Amino acid sequence: MPGAITVVVTRPGSAGRALADELARAGQPAVWLPAFEFGPPPDEGRARAVLASVADFDLAIFVSPQAVRAAAALLARPWPAGTAVAAVGAGTRAAVLGTLAGAARARVLPARNDDLRGSGSEALWPLLQAMRPLPRRVLLLRAQSGREWLAEKLQEAGSTVTPLAVYTRMPFEPSAELRARLAGAAPEGLASVVSSSDAVGALANMLGTQPQVLQALRTGAALASHPRIAERLQAAGFARVVVCAPEVQAIVACLREGDR
């Protein structure tokens, strides 16, 4: 059976809430503590202007489901068939096909979820490398920052990358009730599920007034969705870092393995 420790899910948005709920239904105590909240783009005028000329780009990369939803709200017309779409992660691909009007007429990478071997930028990069011809003009749809590694890889390969913030990530402020729940769970042990490098620093800032909670997270299992996040966690003082898929069965298995 899953352990009595509480898993802190830091993924923002509906996907993070759903994961925490699924863990609870599986018998694993879980708390949703999003690293960020989502807000409007920092420069809506520029975002709308760039998206109005999206047909000028060979490829647009969506970094998250939130990037898809935010861009869809800013687009004035259906997605142009001549601009290929790449999605970081299966959830983002599903959002593209389910939310972005006209995207099904364009080339979408990955073509199937089975084409992804893992998650994050590293899983998408081999598919982009295999594109012929290599896209010359690439639009990277994200928040104020993120996916720099992927942008650097594309630039090294000869692409011109235009980052575009279509939404804002803002610090999340836990309610008094949520802080009390975390404080109550800390003595029994906490684990964390971390799906972005930026979430590591956000956790430290968010829990600065609750050092006992932060210490419990740093001594408990920290489950990172890919190795770069694991490196950031280790540098931040997390002692038990494991690379683990952000899925219920994988999380429960990783926790069990760590208890042996």
Q: Is residue 2 over pLDDT 50?
A: no
Q: Is residue 119 over pLDDT 80?
A: no
Q: What is the reported pLDDT for 117?
A: 59
Q: Is residue 1 over pLDDT 50?
A: no
Structural domains of the chain, ranges and CATH numbers in brackets:
6-35+172-259 (3.40.50.10090), 39-168 (3.40.50.10090)
Comparison of pLDDT for 2 and 234, the residue scoring more = 234
What are the tens digits of pLDDT across the range 16-44? 999 999 999 999 999 999 999 999 999 99
The DSSP secondary structure of the chain, one letter per residue, reads: ---SSEEEE---HHHHHHHHHHHHHTT--EEE--SEEEE--TTHHHHHHHHHTGGG-SEEEE-SHHHHHHHHHH-SSPPPTTSEEEESSHHHHHHHHHHSTTGGGS-EESSSGGG--SSSHHHHHHHHHT-SSPPSEEEEEESSS--HHHHHHHHHTT-EEEEEE-SEEEE----HHHHHHHHHHGGG-EEEEE--THHHHHHHHHTTT-HHHHHHHHHSEEEESSHHHHHHHHHTT-SEEEE--SSHHHHHHHHHHHH-
What are the tens digits of pLDDT across the range 191-209? 999 988 889 999 999 999 9
The pTM score is 0.83
